[in-house]
Structure 1
Amino acid sequence: MSPAVFVKRYADPARAVAAQAHLRWLQQLGSDVRLPHLHPGTATHLIFEHLDGTPPQPRDLPRLAAVLGRLHGTAYARELHAAHLDRPFHGQAGPILPAFHTGRHTVLAQVGVDPTGLPAAFYKDANLRNFIITATGPAVVDFDDLTLAPFGYDLAKLIVSAAMTYGTLDSHQAEVVVAAYTHHVETTGGPTNACTFTQLTRYAEMHHLLTARYLHRNGYRHPWPAVRPWPAPAGPLSLKEPPP
């Protein structure tokens, strides 16, 4: 019997090539995070191993944050310690990761974020829907996007997407999610205190601006300003300075 597969179709072959390269780079990191096997495909069709499981629920967020932390910490230890957020990075055996600033200049200015000089992780779109809860734990899917990003930026996407999908998260739960992420970043070779609370809230506001147009589409039922698990931030603040 042939193994079950999931076929993802691309109108642009270049997008398929990029997604394939992103997955292979993540696989070679050796993070022990569950990633699907990629079968031989075509120029416009990627054929992935089918992963049996269920969509994540809010109770799963600490486990998803831990997975994200392992990926980010391992990537930093293996390659991204040499990366700079404001310039593209080409590692030893992977795709060129665009600079974090690429395509984000406007929203960075709107939120008052300047991450230049911070340690580099990556963004792969940690939308809640890009995880599957399998019998052996969380698995990561969808590899279309991969750029450099500061630690915590992808975690903020996970929190924003979860709140916009399920409603307000408990503030204590948000703290547990952040603690799980930073712990696994550090234990896999990433920097200590990889993402502060101030940084996380700023990144969440960036994702709000980038995701607001999807409200009432793709499962986003709640506007972020109505479901933040913390008070709305006030005024621009450099991420390289401690909060007052």
Structure 2
Amino acid sequence: MSGGIFVKRYDDPERCSTAAAHHAWLTSLDAGVRLPRLLATDAQRLIFERLPGHTPTVADLPRVAATLGRLHAAAHERELHAARLHQPHTTTTGLVIPDFTDPRRAALHRAAAVAGTDAAAVDALLDRPGLPAAFYKDPNVRNYLVDGEDIAVVDFDDLTLAPFGYDLAGLLVTASMTYGRLDEPTLADCVDAYRAAVAPQQCRPVDLHQFAELHHLLTLRYVGLNGYRHPWPAVRPWPDPFPPR
């Protein structure tokens, strides 16, 4: 960081340009959610305005969930109502958003083998083309900034299609792995805030619980790193929907 800017550096120029395209598309949604302005780019750098704020605490999570819901609702209403989860979607700006299934299937199968989770159960969650489409944008709790009542969204490296509730599950998993088991009132407030924002789309508890297990599998290798102090099985706030074989 330097003065009023934040510089994100990339080894891969294509990844740099893709992140810039993600930022532009999310900004175009006009969802009433704050994103940092992209001030300049070159082949391997994105230069953003530096936003004030801190990583959300547990008390901030319901407002973060509402922010996430507003982004999802705007994306679905403006563009993704025509998307199908099992197919890449090309936006009106020409951005190709990868499908939900292919980008994560191999990684989930590898992690499932390590965790003793049934790969067929993983596939059953991935292959659900009939669900309405929102998107995945790395919902790690560290990818939000809280400044008073303002919630900003940062980090634009990854973007795929995803069902409603998938990123909410990721937020809850990463927050639990960071801060410890979340209490029932906090969980209920997060779900209520998200559902109010995405209405009339649904985020059923069974889907939320199952999506959380996908995020668990994908974060297994980070336990003990990047602030993830608590393994998900030790802080999971509901019964495991995929008991070990």
Q: TM-score, normalised on structure 1?
A: 0.90
Residues of 2 paired with 1:109 and 1:175: CA distance? 30
Q: Tell me the CA shift for residue 110 of structure 1.
A: 4.3
Residues of 2 paired with 1:130 and 1:117: CA distance? 29
SS in structure 2 at match of 1:144: coil
Q: Tell me the CA shift for residue 229 of structure 1.
A: 1.3
Residues of 2 paired with 1:125 and 1:182: CA distance? 19
Corresponding residue of 2:138 = 125
* RMSD over equivalenced CA pairs, Å: 1.5
Corresponding residue of 1:140 = 153
Corresponding residue of 2:12 = 12
SS in structure 1 at match of 2:41: coil
SS in structure 1 at match of 2:206: helix
Corresponding residue of 2:233 = 225
Answer yes or no: is the 8 Å Cα contact 1:39–1:47 preserved in 2. yes
Corresponding residue of 2:186 = 173
Please list every run of at least 4 consecutive aligned residues from structure 1 whose deviation after the TM superposition is greater than 4 angstroms.
Answer: none
Deviations 1:50-104 (A, max 9, x none): 0011111011110000000000001000000000000000011151000000122
Give the counterpart letter for 2:131 in structure 1.
L
Structure with greater helix share of residues: 2
**2:219 paired with 1:211:** yes
Report 1:31-180 matches (<5 A): 31-106=31-106, 107=108, 109-111=120-122, 112-113=124-125, 114-180=127-193
Segments of structure 1 that go 5 or more residues without pairing to the other structure are: 187-191, 236-244
Residues of 2 paired with 1:97 and 1:230: CA distance? 32
CA pair 89-71 structure 1, distance change in 2 beyond 3 A: same
In the comparison of the two structures, how many residue pairs are matched? 229
SS in structure 1 at match of 2:42: coil
Residues of 2 paired with 1:3 and 1:81: CA distance? 41
Residues of 1 paired with 2:94 and 2:55: CA distance? 29
Residues of 2 paired with 1:195 and 1:160: CA distance? 16
Give the counterpart letter for 2:181 in structure 1.
T
Residues of 1 paired with 2:149 and 2:45: CA distance? 27
Higher mean C-alpha displacement, 225-234 vs 71-80: 225-234
Give the counterpart letter for 1:207 in structure 2.
H
Residues of 1 paired with 2:59 and 2:157: CA distance? 26
User: Between the two proteins, what is the percent identity of the paired residues?
Assistant: 54
Residues of 1 paired with 2:3 and 2:228: CA distance? 33
Answer yes or no: is the 8 Å Cα contact 2:164–2:201 preserved in 1. no
SS in structure 2 at match of 1:46: strand
Residues of 2 paired with 1:120 and 1:135: CA distance? 31
